[in-house]
Amino acid sequence: MLTRGDMLTLPFEEPHMMCEPRFGANYPRESLPDSLQQQERQQRPTARSDPEMMREAEDDLSDREEDEREDDQDENGLQKKRGPRKKRPGKEQVDRAKLRRQEANARERSRMHGLNAALESLRKVVPCYSKTQKLSKIETLRLAKNYIWALSETLSAGKRPDLLAFVQTLCKGLSQPTTNLVAGCLQLNARNFLTDHNGEVMFSGRSPYEAMYSYTSSDMNSPPGHSGGALDTGSKPFRHYSYSSAYETYFENPSPDSGSPHFDGQLSPPMNFNGIFSLKHDDPQDYGKSSHYGVRYCGAPGRSALAPNSMYRVSPEARFPYDLHVRSQSFQTQGEVNGSYHN
């Protein structure tokens, strides 16, 4: 099946093929390959019935007249000194300009392909990745921004996040289909999420967390640019609590008929619900050379600094909490969740 990314992609070596549909519009005639130009000349009717041809002829005429006139008078109509006559571009210059344009087009395509490749690699590290159901460019960027924000909050709080709050942060500003997609990727019941008219994500049901902790899922900062939403009610960081019962509540029934999009592609698990934020991706060489993800957030203002690659070297009290508590706490469930990602 052809993906969106594959469509309209033509080989660089055949720029005229890509230009062809545009000839009828505003593509410059001089850009036609010589053979096509010749062919077009031969096909021109002698009668001046084609409006485009008439326009061309008028342009030619007016150009010539302007060339002649511009030597006689300046813009004020005063007699102008005769200088070197402006030379109309010769065939060589036209060909050269044509070539430069084609080269520029190829570079532009290449540049955009690079941009798309970077976007694709970004898709693979945000919390929802499917080869068959790709996030759009804009949604990928939004989700990435939310993800960075949520992880930064988690790091600054130094505690395990509230699951719902985390997911709600992820989904902020995303379209309803993308929200469903993310919820589906994370195996949450997408029906529990609503998007209001402002695009803010709300949780429609009563969270079991709220029942257990009398703590609302809105107790966290909102990402920049998302003020005033349903989640913007406080500055408290993610709350530290045990996931075990909540996990059961949310994942014992993974809601296969939740209305979420169908996922038959690869899902990447940048986050695990039992609190371990591991990043899985197809090409770890991209990241293995760099420092651990957590280190990248340490330079943020207000964040406590860690030595490079030193997430596990700092004192236990200051350590990223997930490895301290959660691995032993719910190792089995982590495996279950991971298993679903690796389908």
Partner DNA sequence: TAGGCCATCTGGTCCT
Partner DNA sequence: AGGACCAGATGGCCTA
Per-residue 3-state assignment (H helix, E strand, C coil) for the chain: CCCHHHCCCCCCCCHHHHHHHHCCCCCCHHHCCHHHHHHHHHHCCCCCCCHHHHHHHHHHHHHHHHHHHCCCECCCCCECCCCCCCCCCCHHHHHHHHHHHHHHHHHHHHHHHHHHHHHHHHHHHCCCCCCCCCCCHHHHHHHHHHHHHHHHHHHHHCCCCCHHHHHHHHHCCCCHHHHHHHHHHCCCCHHHEEECCCCCEEECCCCHHHHHHCCCCCECCCCCCCCCCCCECCCCCCCCCCCHHHHHHHHCCCCCCCCCCCCCCCCCCCCCCCCCCCCCCCCCHHHHCCCCHHHHCCCCCCCCCCCCCCCCCCCHHHCCHHHHHHHHHCHHHHHHHHHHHCC
- Position among 108, 248, 264, 282 found at the interface with DNA (CB under 7 A): 108
Q: How far is the CB of 211 from DNA (least distance, A)?
A: 35
Nearest to 8 by CA among 86, 138, 116: 116
Distance, CA of 193 to CA of 183 (rounded, Å): 8
Q: Does 196 bind DNA (CB under 7 A)?
A: no
Residue 101 touching DNA (CB under 7 A): yes
Could you tell me how many residues make up the chain? Answer: 343
Mask for 121-150, x = binds DNA (CB under 7 A) = -------------x-xxxx-----------
Judged by CB under 7 A, does residue 173 bind DNA? no
Q: Which of 104, 118, 318, 324 binds DNA (CB under 7 A)?
A: 104
111 binds DNA (CB under 7 A): yes
316 binds DNA (CB under 7 A): no
**87 contacts DNA (rule: CB under 7 A):** no
Nearest to DNA of 26, 42 (CB atom): 26
Name which position in 53, 57, 61, 112 contacts DNA (CB under 7 A).
112
Q: Is 95 in the site for DNA (CB under 7 A)?
A: no
Closest CB to DNA among 39 and 245?
39
Binding DNA (rule: CB under 7 A), the pick from 29, 44, 85, 100 is 100
Q: Which of 121, 156, 175, 340 binds DNA (CB under 7 A)?
A: 175
Tell the smallest beta-carbon distance from residue 78 to DNA (Å).
Answer: 28
Binding residues among 233-252 for DNA as defined by CB under 7 A: none
Least distance from DNA to the Cβ atom of residue 25, Å: 4
Residue 152 CB, nearest distance to DNA (Å)? 24
**CA proximity to 271, closest of 202, 175, 340:** 340
Residue 167 contacts residue 194 (beta carbons within 8 Å): no
| 99 is a contact residue toward DNA (CB under 7 A) | no
Instruction: Name the minimum Å distance from CB 317 to DNA.
Output: 43
Rule CB under 7 A: is residue 21 a binding residue for DNA? yes
To the nearest whole angstrom, how small is the minimum distance from the Cβ of residue 113 to DNA? 6
Closest approach, Cβ 5 to DNA, in A, equals 4
Judged by CB under 7 A, does residue 40 bind DNA?
no
Which stretches of the chain bind DNA, using CB under 7 A?
A: 2, 4-5, 7-10, 15, 18-19, 21-22, 24-28, 31, 100-101, 103-109, 111-113, 116, 134, 136-139, 175
